[in-house]
Structure 1
Amino acid sequence: MGNLPTQILIVGVLYPMLLNQDRVTRRGALRFGRLVPVAALLAVAAGSGWLSIQGRVSLDIAPILILAAVNAVIQARLWFLAVFAEADGRPHWMAAIALPANVLATLVMLLPWPSSTATVTAMFVALAIANGGFLVVMARVKVGIHVLDGLPAVPGRKHSAHYWFLSKSFVGYGGLMIVQSLALVLPPSTLTLLTLPMKIVGSVAATFVNAVMPLLVHQNTESPTEARRFLSILTVILGSLGLVILVAGGLFLPEHFVQVLVVALWLLAAAAASVAQRMMFRFLPPSASRITLAVVPMIVAAVAVSVQSDGFGLIALLCAYALVDAASGFLILVALRARVMSCVTGLITLSLAAIWVASLFYPGIS
């Protein structure tokens, strides 16, 4: 929840407006820097209230909630600075944005803490300290400041780019939060299993896409040719990796073969959607965002219906998350007239939808 305003407003609105021809003004960008940390704080409070209503908050985890709020505020400022450098074609700050915090948190968790609550509390202390230190370093070397200073004082023309990007971002991230809320009907063990493939897919996207695409698509890029070539190469690499994973899953974890298949398809879909989205930000008008606005509401509605089925479980949830990327990537690639990759993502979309439906009617495949 603490990261939600950062993802919606900084990644979903500010960053596209740094790439698009309808660029954000300097005053508008500074407003993001002030308001998003406050929104992150309020989001943690709202999430804490929701958990309390669900009966999952006790006095001993109050320090965790406070630390989560502090960390969310620091993270918002980190992302604010990093996206300016990324839009300028310098991705290393964004690529490293979670590294100090994750390393320190992992090291702290290796210590023999007396309880799981103490372990999580120590982890959040480490996250806040590492993120705070990284923010000091970024501020001292003035990461992204020259990009911020170079933004126009007034818009180049009258436009509604911020409304389009905000709508797309809010619907996308907000819809996924609704899916997570609906998933609370499942046992905690299932939700824990869900986080593993989410981390795998997110890590692969960050490694292969977020660290490379800013070099190919940034404020001064004039053609999508290099990005399209990169997507083709990446699809071959991830397709080969997915095939290896499927074979290994079939040999060593045959009871989880379907889950492995969905994750392999999700890897391809997530990478394609991430590359396609960056090309859309740079080479299509902001109004092109409307082509993906219906995707998440449809999937949320499908999850709401699926929850009523006895077969609803981990596979259906995995397919729901994967379909957000697959369907969005397909529609964007069609708009970009990338025929081969739009066919690939279209097939992935159909496959995931079929697996989802099959899991509801034949729970045995789970």
Structure 2
Amino acid sequence: MLILARAGTNQSTDAYFYLFNVGLVPIQCIIVGMMYPSLLNDRGMSRAGLARIRWLTPALGLVFVTGGALWLTERDRLPVDLIALAVLSALNALVQALLWFKAVAAQAGGNALWISGVALPANILAVVALTYPWKSPPAAMTIMVGALLVGNIGLLVAMTRRKVGTAVLDSVPLVAPSRSGPFWFLGKSTVGYLGQIFLQSLAVLLPASGVTFLNIGVKIVSSVSATFVNATMPSLVHRSTDSPHSARQFLRLTVVVVSLGGAALVAGTWIIWPSLLRPAIVVALWLIASSASAIAAQMSYRFLTPQMSTRTILVVTAVVALTALSSRGTGFDLTVALCAYATIDAASALLLLLPLRDRTMSLLLGGVVAGLASTWITAYL
């Protein structure tokens, strides 16, 4: 809201959002998608592998943001008064990678405090910076990114002094039990990320209002998943966990809570905006699927082999292919796009819960997959 109030929507905000998201790509693919599950799994990586990630991810953040800035320059979208924003964005990507490395290490040890607040100091300073009415959008966005960088540097200093994640990193073996394990996780995260980018690209084919509603659905589901899962699961599943029992109980509790929330969402939509009832039903099912997928994924990191990642890779590939085929017809609409997102999470959760021997939740997720498939077909036809 402050960005819109102080800078509006223009080249400055486009450059910020684009460069910031580009800088997150190495973090999401390597640190979150490869390093974290490898630390949880008994077939994880070696200290040498972690050392490479420690310097490679910040370096890639710099490279990605620099490449993004060059792309914007090529398209005449980065004027001279935004060069400072690009430089600060590159430095911020570097510092963020160092922060996430320490926070994810602590998370693997069962401490969710640092990963939960990894962006808090930076965002607080960014909000403070935007309260002042700067003279131009480039000035507002550049100063805001500078505030992000200062907040991240301050947190990095604090985490370094407290030696956050050091105990976990020191416990990693010198030689990894399996050299291929981390690359299975990397393949899973990379395919998943590329699949989401592809689905977002296909969503451009929807009317403008459809794209907006799709992203509202994405925001609702991702925020619920982060609130109920990411801040709780590290204390239930970490490097010392020897049983999935507590995670299974948490899965059942989470499904009940999000199901009630989904029912309220459907009821409210039916009363206020009945034309969006079917998309609301899909979002309600997606809430269940997304939460179950996030919990099942963290359970699989600890209790299944890295090769199980192929199940998720196959699901993403199949759903993206079906969505691409659907987009070629006249029946491609908001409901179909939402079904594609939800089906990835639901099918992934189902295929991971089966080897985890959770029959009750497997049956439930099987029903969710069937419901999404039937909704997809009827909406398209």
2:252 is the alignment partner of 1:232: yes
**Residue pairs, 1:97-116, within 5 angstroms:** 97-113=118-134
With 221-230 and 171-180 compared, the bigger mean Cα shift is at 171-180
> Match of 2:220?
200
2:59 is the alignment partner of 1:25: no
With 14-23 and 96-105 compared, the bigger mean Cα shift is at 96-105
Partners of 1:95 and 1:206 within 8 A in 2? no
> Match of 1:141?
162
Kindly state the Cα deviation for residue 134 of structure 1 after the two structures are TM-superposed: 1.6
Q: What is the distance in 2 between the residues matched to 1:122 and 1:310?
A: 45
> Match of 1:356?
376
Q: What is the distance in 2 between the residues matched to 1:284 and 1:171?
A: 19
> Match of 2:4?
none
Could you tell me which runs of 5 or more consecutive residues in structure 2 were left unpaired when the two chains were aligned.
Answer: 1-21
2:90 is the alignment partner of 1:76: no
> Match of 1:89?
110
SS at match of 2:118: coil
Kindly state the Cα deviation for residue 41 of structure 1 after the two structures are TM-superposed: 2.5
2:183 is the alignment partner of 1:163: yes
With 168-177 and 158-167 compared, the bigger mean Cα shift is at 158-167
2:339 is the alignment partner of 1:303: no
Partners of 2:44 and 2:182 within 8 A in 1? no
SS at match of 2:332: coil
Give the aligned residue type for 1:92.
L
> Match of 1:364?
none
> Match of 2:292?
272
Could you tell me which runs of 5 or more consecutive residues in structure 1 were left unpaired when the two chains were aligned.
Answer: 362-366
Partners of 2:45 and 2:178 within 8 A in 1? no
For residues 75-107 of structure 1, what are the alpha-carbon distances to aligned partners after superposition, in whole Å with 9 as ceiling and x for unaligned? 211111011111111111111112223333344
Kindly state the Cα deviation for residue 7 of structure 1 after the two structures are TM-superposed: 1.1
2:268 is the alignment partner of 1:260: no
Kindly state the Cα deviation for residue 319 of structure 1 after the two structures are TM-superposed: 2.4
Kindly state the Cα deviation for residue 51 of structure 1 after the two structures are TM-superposed: 6.1
Percent identity between matched residues is 43
Kindly state the Cα deviation for residue 197 of structure 1 after the two structures are TM-superposed: 2.7
1:5 pairs, out of 26, 30, 43, with 26
Distance 1:110 1:254, change over 3 A: farther
Partners of 1:88 and 1:219 within 8 A in 2? yes
TM-score, length basis structure 1: 0.89
Q: What is the distance in 2 between the residues matched to 1:350 and 1:115?
A: 52
2:235 is the alignment partner of 1:215: yes
- Tell me the number of residue pairs that the alignment of Structure 1 and Structure 2 aligns: 359
For residues 146-201 of structure 1, what are the alpha-carbon distances to aligned partners after superposition, in whole Å with 9 as ceiling and x for unaligned? 2112211123x354212211221211112212222333444665444433332222
With 311-320 and 170-179 compared, the bigger mean Cα shift is at 311-320
Kindly state the Cα deviation for residue 133 of structure 1 after the two structures are TM-superposed: 2.0
Kindly state the Cα deviation for residue 245 of structure 1 after the two structures are TM-superposed: 1.6
Distance 1:110 1:274, change over 3 A: same
Kindly state the Cα deviation for residue 254 of structure 1 after the two structures are TM-superposed: 2.1
Give the aligned residue type for 2:265.
I
Q: What is the distance in 2 between the residues matched to 1:51 and 1:269?
A: 37
2:206 is the alignment partner of 1:174: no
> Match of 1:328?
348
> Match of 2:5?
none
1:287 pairs, out of 301, 307, 310, with 307
Q: What is the distance in 2 between the residues matched to 1:340 and 1:122?
A: 52
For residues 327-366 of structure 1, what are the alpha-carbon distances to aligned partners after superposition, in whole Å with 9 as ceiling and x for unaligned? 11111011211111112222222222333333334xxxxx
> Match of 1:124?
145
Distance 1:305 1:218, change over 3 A: same
Distance 1:296 1:23, change over 3 A: same
Q: What is the distance in 1 between the residues matched to 2:40 and 2:282?
A: 32
Distance 1:229 1:174, change over 3 A: same
Partners of 1:216 and 1:227 within 8 A in 2? yes
> Match of 2:8?
none
Q: What is the distance in 1 between the residues matched to 2:331 and 2:67?
A: 31
State the superposition RMSD in angstroms.
Answer: 2.5
SS at match of 2:23: coil
